[in-house]
Chains A and B, each alone.
Chain A
Amino acid sequence: MPKIFSSKSKQLETEIDSYLDRVNTAGLLFLEGIKAYIEGKTEYFEKKYIEISDIESEADEKRREIKQKLYTYMLIPESRGDVLGLLENIDDIVDICEKVLEQFSIETPEIPEFLKSDFLKLAELSSKSVEELVKGTQVFFRQVNMVSNYVNKVHFYEHEADDVEEQLKRKVFASAEIEKFSHKVHMRYFTEKIAAVSDVAESVCERLSVYAIKRRI
């Protein structure tokens, strides 16, 4: 006899929500961390880096719990694969956010003054794309028809981030202020790392919109 799952599904609903909250927090910490780094607040930056590492392991743990529960309670057999795939892909975003701050912490790139605002802008756009993706995912569970609104926003922020990324790289390589080639390559590396967050958000978004179409009755 299948049990009346409402208590279990309620519990799992809460867990999925809290998982997504962590992803959202990771996106915000990523922005705060980069901001702190650019503004030279090293101590505050390191604090954000530790925080994001904690969030990353918490999110991993939560995701494993959700996976286990979905399978042991035989919940949503039809969309179980999609939901797990989605959550796993979202997890990549948290990983990248953490990795970027880790690289900042290890490599301590020297960001010239004239590039700071561009780096900040790029980080903001990436963080925004994560935020909209999380909203889209939350909506996927409750109001599947609304998903496309958020998908569009993610596309928009990713596109903007692409533009800023390109401008930034052009500035770096055209600049006489950055003398060493290795420094230019270092700047390009960090530009690409920060922009990668929005790229991954976009590719998760593509999946999300397909799952949303599948879920419509």
Chain B
Amino acid sequence: MLTVLFFLSSGLFLGWSLGANDAANIFGTAVSTKMIKFRTAAIICSIFVIIGAVVSGAGASHTLGKLGEVNELAGAFIVALAAALTVLWMTKAGLPVSTSQAIVGAIIGWNFFSGTATSISSLSKIVGTWVFSPILSALFAFLLFHLIKKLIESSNIHLLRLDSYTRIGLLIVGAFGSYSLGANNIGNVMGVFINASPFQDISVAGIFTFTSVQQLFLLGGIAIGIGVISYSKKVMQTVGSGIFKLSPVTALVVVLASSLTLFLFASQSLHDFLTSNHLPAFPLVPVSSSQAVVGSVMGISIAKGGRNLNFKKLGQISLGWVVTPIASAILTYIALFFMQNVFLQNVYH
């Protein structure tokens, strides 16, 4: 059990850093503008991230699994560790980094090391989604911004009442965003451990089965939750007041638009519904919540007439699509080499 926990620790660390960084995308503005207390935000965020991870995390993880089935626990440990270190490094460099891109790079690094062929169709599906997700967020934000603006202007609502509705809205949308984040991003944290999962399925009173994957995701969800509670306050204060200066109402639009994007790329039931009705379904792929947020902010800028469009940020996102996976892949390759030849562990079979 100790060995298992040791090897899982890199995934849990990745989960922790995801929680610390990405909770700010959902509750950052609400907390930094004092619309919601940090405590409230952290509790809601942690609970809904865990629910999202356990209930709806399988879809996006499955896609990662198809990219490369990391089949040894020690290998999975290195993959998650390399991804976590890449995220840490990129965060320090001030880039809107994504655990999704780091983990994909790391998996490809493992594929190279183990001589496994990388599924080009999975990879192109994933990369295509990365490019598409900020655009989709921008579109959602653009539409929602106009809708909410019209709604506020036509309702003649009092400033104070608007304020209290916005608070409630930020809580509800924040809960939805946290759920979507858990569902979409748990694959990044725990996906690589699925094939090497040490857990057994548990049948709860014969009513439902708590699968080994769900147990793994619960653990990852808790790690994310701890990240949120222990470290995200600082990130929220910088994100909320630093890069994007948003009013509470625009923050509501940004979070809703980004959450919808994450949700669409994570919801198995929506996927099944669309495919069963012969409609084009969204691929279930882990995307970056930070980049979805940047997309939403751009959408609002465009809705406001294109002022303050931050092209530098757009450039950084595109850079992230390339640099993060490559850096992570190289790091994984090197780390796997050491794990195999210095620590004499099997990293693949």
Q: Which residues of A contact B (CB under 8 A)?
A: 1-2, 4-6, 8-10, 12-13, 16, 74-79, 83, 140-143, 145, 215, 217
Contacts and interface: CB of A to CB of B under 8 A. Distances in A.
Nearest to B148: A217
- Main SS at interface, chain B: helix
Given A2-B36, A77-B35, A217-B148, A10 B161 contact: yes
Nearest to A1: B40
B161 A78 contact: no
Interface in B147-164: 148-149, 152-153, 156-161, 163-164
Nearest to A17: B158
Given A2-B36, A2-B37, A10-B161, A217 B250 contact: yes
B163 A5 contact: yes
A79 B167 contact: no
Contacts of B158: 9, 13, 141-142
Contact of A142 (B36, B157, B163, B164): B157
Contact of B159 (A1, A4, A76, A145): A76
Contacts of A79: 159
A69 to B, nearest CB: 10
A2 B167 CA distance: 8
B33 interface: yes
Interface of B: 33-37, 40, 145, 148-149, 152-153, 156-161, 163-164, 167-168, 171, 247-250
A12 B40 contact: no
Contacts of B148: 217
Contact of B247 (A1, A75, A217): A217
Contact of B152 (A16, A141, A217): A217
A217 B152 CA distance: 9
A10 B36 CA distance: 19
B35 A4 contact: no
A60 B168 CA distance: 32
A142 B167 contact: no
Contacts of A142: 156-159
A153 to B, nearest CB: 20
A138 to B, nearest CB: 10
Residue among B148, B149, B171, B247 with the most chain A CB within 10 A?
Answer: B247
24 contacts: A2-B35, A2-B40, A4-B168, A6-B161, A8-B164, A9-B160, A9-B161, A9-B164, A10-B160, A12-B160, A74-B34, A75-B163, A77-B33, A77-B34, A77-B35, A77-B248, A78-B33, A142-B156, A142-B157, A142-B159, A143-B156, A217-B145, A217-B149, A217-B250
Contacts of B145: 217
A9 B159 CA distance: 9
A182 B159 CA distance: 51
- Going nearest first, the 4 A-B pairs with the smallest beta carbon separation are A9-B160, A5-B164, A77-B34, A76-B163
A67 to B, nearest CB: 14
A115 B37 CA distance: 61
B254 to A, nearest CB: 12
A5 B36 CA distance: 12
Nearest to A8: B164
Given A4-B168, A145-B153, A217-B249, A76 B160 contact: yes
A78 B164 contact: no
